[in-house]
Amino acid sequence: MAKKWLLSLVITFFIITAIPFLANNIKVSFDKDSKYVAELPKTMRTAHIKNESDKDFYKNIYISRTKLPEIGDEDVLVYVKSATFTQRDFSFFKSNKDKKEFVPCSDFSGVVVRVGKKVKRYEIGDKVFGIADLENGKGACADYVSVAQNNIYTLPYSLTFKQAAMIPTPALLNWFALHNLEKQGVKKGKVLIDDAISEVGIMLTGLLSRNGFEVTAIDDESVETWVEGYGIKNFISNSAFETEKQKLLNSYDIVIDLNKGIPIKELIKLVKPKGTFITYEQTNEKRNDIRMLIIDNKLIDKEIFAKMSRLVHLGKLKVNVVQEYGLEHIRDAYIRAVKGNNNGKVVVNVNK
């Protein structure tokens, strides 16, 4: 009996002495709305491109320290882990000569560190990926990026930050290509892709060819030996296009312009009546008997990101890294990306 009493006394003593210790060492901070608040720096590294000339464009890229971006009620602030250049970047450069300076990198992945008042889908600490708002100067080649909650999606557990940063723009393009073919009732149609041997083009040709579509590629003759491995049925070099184009008029269900090589006014002539022309570039070119689709932020549907990330998870869509750079080497990353003919994506590891 005495032993039981002694054991009870020891346990009681331990509990009484442990409570103050735990209280002093476990601290949880909340704001007035009972939400955890991340402590953030006042400034960040930001890459800029001065829109001064097309010649030696990379020389206009530099890094400076800027204030963290503000967020609206339906925006989130993301701590950027990885970012990539896409055709949206290069189209934006060409189509916005009036803008003196902007922040590059369209696609990104990272961690949510702040949320707007009306954001319900995401919380601080969530891992996400999506498309930055280049049009409003909010590119992702910076430590932090402000983005609308509808332009991001939760990072699947099976994907790395690098993989996720390579998906968004190719996902949009893949989805719109397949969706339009389905709407046209085309199950094994003909697709022409300009700049097919690029990071986006390779993903696109792989997915379309595996779904039974006949893909014709236009690209530099130096990459002709690569096309067989990507499921490309026919190849036309940029230099041979002039002599071939009359034969190709009204031949394709969908023509996809990845903004390199052949002018839009020539490419739209190759689409079948009631077919679709898809591009990243703002254009005044028109053709009344086809559908013209310009990829921009207005067309973003984050469910597309989910569908395409599942394909990556299942191994049905491959995303390869051709080269990685830190933010401090953004010039080198740009040079490699704009060079094209990449067997994969150029990734900027903004923060590891």
Select the more confidently predicted residue: 348 or 207.
348
- Distance separating alpha carbons of residues 292 and 281, to the nearest angstrom: 11
Q: How many helices (H) and strands (E) does the chain have?
A: 9, 16
The structural domains of the chain, ordered by start, are: 43-166+319-349 (3.90.180.10), 169-299 (3.40.50.720)
Q: Which two tokens stand for residue 118?
A: 């009306």
Q: How far apart are CA 69 and CA 225, in angstroms?
A: 46
pLDDT value, residue 22: 39
Q: Using one digit for the tens of pLDDT, what is the confidence trace for 239-285? A: 888 888 898 999 998 888 876 678 888 999 999 998 888 887 777 88
Question: Which ranges constitute the DSSP H helices of 102-213?
Answer: 161-165, 168-183, 199-210
- Rounded CA-CA distance 286/271 in Å is 12
pLDDT of residue 29: 44
Q: Which amino acid is at 217?
A: A
pLDDT at site 242 = 86
- Residue 210 or residue 347, greater confidence: 347
* DSSP letters for 84-125: E--HHHHHHHHH-TT--EE---SEEEEEEEEE-TT--S--TT
**Given pLDDT bands bounded at 50, 70 and 90, which one contains residue 7?**
low
CB 350 within 8 A of CB 83: yes
Q: Helices 168-183 and 302-313 sit at what angle, rounded to 10 degrees?
A: 100
CA 33 to chain centre: 33
Select the more confidently predicted residue: 301 or 33.
Answer: 301
d(CA 63, CA 270): 42
Q: Supply the mean pLDDT for the chain.
A: 77
Rounded to 5°, angle at Cα 202 from 211 and 238: 115
- The two most distant CA atoms of the chain are separated, in Å, by 105
Whole-structure pTM value: 0.69
How far apart are the C-alpha atoms of 175 and 308, rounded to whole Å? 8
* 114-123, 188-197, 222-231, 253-262: range with highest mean pLDDT: 114-123
pLDDT digits (tens, 9 = 90+) for 27-77: 434 444 444 556 889 999 999 887 665 555 556 788 999 999 999 999 999
The percent of residues in the chain predicted with pLDDT above 90, rounded, is 22
Q: Do 80 and 91 form a contact (C-beta atoms < 8 A)?
A: no
Question: What pLDDT does residue 23 have?
Answer: 39
> What is the predicted pLDDT for the residue at 34?
41
Comparing 80 with 230, the larger pLDDT belongs to 80
Report the chain's terminal Cα–Cα distance, integer Å: 61
pLDDT tens digits along 288-297: 999 887 776 5
Contacts of 157 (CB under 8 A, 6+ apart): none
Mean pLDDT of all residues in 185-206: 74
Structure-model confidence comparison of residues 340 and 24, the more confident one: 340
Q: Is 277 helix (H, G, I), strand (E, B) or coil?
A: strand
Contact between 276 and 253 under an 8 Å Cβ cutoff? The reply is yes
